[in-house]
Amino acid sequence: MLKQANDQNKENKELQKIFSLAVKFFEKGDFELARKGFEIVIKDTKEQRKKGPFPRLFREPSLRDKAEQYLKKMVGRQTQPERKTKEKPREIKAGKPSFSARITKKFRKIIRHPLIVGVDISDHSIEILQLDEDRNIKLCARSVLEKGIVESAEIKDADRLGEALHQTIKGAGLDVLMAKKRLRIKGLFSLPESKVFIREFGLETKDNLQDQVKKKIEETVPLSLGEIYWDYINLGEQANQTRILAVAVFKKTIDDYLQFFWGEGIDPVVFDTEAASVARALLPAEKQKSSTAIIDIGARTSIINIFDPRNDLSLSVSVSCAGNYFTQQIAKKLSTSEEEAEKEKQGSGFKKEPVSGVLKECSLVLLGEIKDALKYYQNRFGLRVGKIILSGGSSLLPGIAEHFQENLEEKVETGDPLRNIKPGSFFGDKKEALLFANVIGLAMRGLDKDYIDKGLNLLTDDVKNQEKVLQKEREKFFLYIILYFIVIFIALLAILFTLHRLGLIKLAI
């Protein structure tokens, strides 16, 4: 009972924060963001019906009641598309807009092509990247984050992160484009494997597939369904079973990022997994002859992701042996500071003693985990991994690919995130580009027509549906425009032909 009460109290505090933020947006005149916040409060709260002799009229309004009151106040008011500004908000007159104003607003909202941009926020940096339809990089920027702003993919200082994000947006030139065309960014974002639960399993039948997946998630994820958002994809048939890849994440993780992005003028349209976006950048688009393992060696963890020949994720293993561990061991063995150890690690890597000796000893743990994962994958699926691709910041250490090749039977290579795109002059070499592998994969997903549903998406259903409705309206609008001009053209031809038959005009054929 006490745990349940504590959980309820924690949930109420989170909703109160969302409500307070929505009120701030309302007071600034940013009614679109305010509406989204109030709708989340209404959806996630159940009206508290207080027991006792006093009717509802005499008790304090609940958070839900207050949110509903604000939504009523917003009826008939215009939405201000831009957010954060130090200027005083424009004075918005109450009252229902005219019919022409509503049509004009709807028209502009539909015809404006959204800025679909990949956004990667890690503990150490922010990357932004956009591709055009021919996979040329249109814009790209990176900012390094100070320690303590984001930790383990959790936002610790939203204000400083917001400042860093806007600096990155400015560096990419997006701020000018947003101001000139009055556009908002449609952001594709990813979550690291350390924040999500990834489950792969087989089902005997396709009947009531969603209910079956839901039941499996309840059985395999150590959280109740009320605490998580989840999604799944059908990987096809194998051994008379339907293979399913399912992912789940704490609701709070998604809700926190939603509120942050909305507050910074970005509309999240995809919450992908980092494994999927990195694979999209590093793996060839066509089907492979054998499976491939991508070893993402980051700062805190190394992730072993194994993809089958169709590039579908089949196994994901997290290992705590990674860049920070390497640095700490160098500092300990060589009796130096971690700052100096980091410099030595980046300069010497696996090539120069005494640092190389320490790194080779440290890497034995990671190499052992890789071998175990490859063996488990082969025993379970009957498939062999033919190639290992190294990615992540620590994969750039001098000599690491050669050292891994000496200790593993499979072919080892450093990832090339530029293989599926046209980089232009944005990157000096492939090593620099490897830091952008995740955001490149996100931007590549943004090129798909059905980018919202093409793959896993942990975005909440209500927000996802709003984006899909707007996307369909935009598609219908342009279809109607094309049909309109076709009808006009046919009508003109019919008129000309009739006039010709009547002898009123002569047509030279």
C-alpha atoms less than 13 angstroms from C-alpha of 493 in its C-beta half-sphere:
6
Q: Where are the domains of the chain?
A: 15-85, 113-284+437-478, 286-418
Of the candidate CATH numbers 3.40.50.2300, 3.10.110.10, 3.30.420.380, 3.30.43.10, the domain formed by 113-284+437-478 belongs to: 3.30.420.380
266-273 and 291-297 beta bridge pairing: unpaired
Please check whether the domain covering 286-418 is classified as CATH 3.30.420.40.
Answer: yes
Q: Summarize the confidence of residues 132-150 as an average pLDDT.
A: 92
Q: pLDDT digits over 292-341, tens only? A: 999 999 888 899 999 999 899 999 999 989 999 999 999 999 999 999 99
* 135: nearest Cα among 426, 407, 365: 426
Cβ atoms of residues 359 and 397 within 8 Å: yes
Cβ atoms of residues 439 and 119 within 8 Å: yes
Please tell me if the domain spanning 113-284+437-478 has the same topology as the one spanning 286-418.
yes
Q: Summarize the confidence of residues 144-162 as an average pLDDT.
A: 92
Dihedrals φ, ψ of 17, to 5°?
A: -65, -45
* 437: nearest Cα among 162, 165, 29, 125: 125
* 432 compared with 409, residue with greater pLDDT: 409
| DSSP H or E run through 8 | helix 2-28
User: Which stretch of 75-84, 338-347, 407-416, 423-432 has the lowest confidence by average pLDDT?
Assistant: 75-84
- CA 138 – CA 185 distance, rounded (Å): 14
Q: pLDDT digits over 243-280, tens only? A: 999 999 999 999 999 999 988 888 899 999 999 999 99
Q: pLDDT digits over 186-195, tens only? A: 999 999 888 9
Using CA atoms in the order 207, 219, 458, 454, what is the torsion angle rounded to 10 degrees?
Answer: -40
Map residue 450 onto helix, strand or coil. Answer: coil
* 509 compared with 480, residue with greater pLDDT: 480
* 63 compared with 242, residue with greater pLDDT: 242
pLDDT at 411 over 60: yes
Retrieve residue 202's tokens.
């087989």
Cβ atoms of residues 454 and 168 within 8 Å: no
| DSSP H or E run through 377 | helix 355-381
Cβ atoms of residues 29 and 83 within 8 Å: no
* 428 compared with 139, residue with greater pLDDT: 139
**DSSP assignment, residue 294?**
E
H-type alpha helices, 349-454: 355-381, 400-407, 430-433, 437-445
Report the side by side order of strands in the sheet with 115-121: 137-144, 125-131, 115-121, 185-191, 266-273
Cβ atoms of residues 161 and 260 within 8 Å: yes
Q: Summarize the confidence of residues 445-451 as an average pLDDT.
A: 89
Q: What is the pLDDT of residue 59?
A: 41
| Total residue count of the chain as it appears in this document | 509
Percent of the chain with pLDDT over 70: 82
Q: pLDDT digits over 360-397, tens only? A: 999 999 999 999 999 999 998 889 999 999 999 899 99
CA 459 to chain centre: 8
Q: What's the pLDDT band for 5 if we cut at 50, 70, 90?
A: low
* 438 compared with 176, residue with greater pLDDT: 438
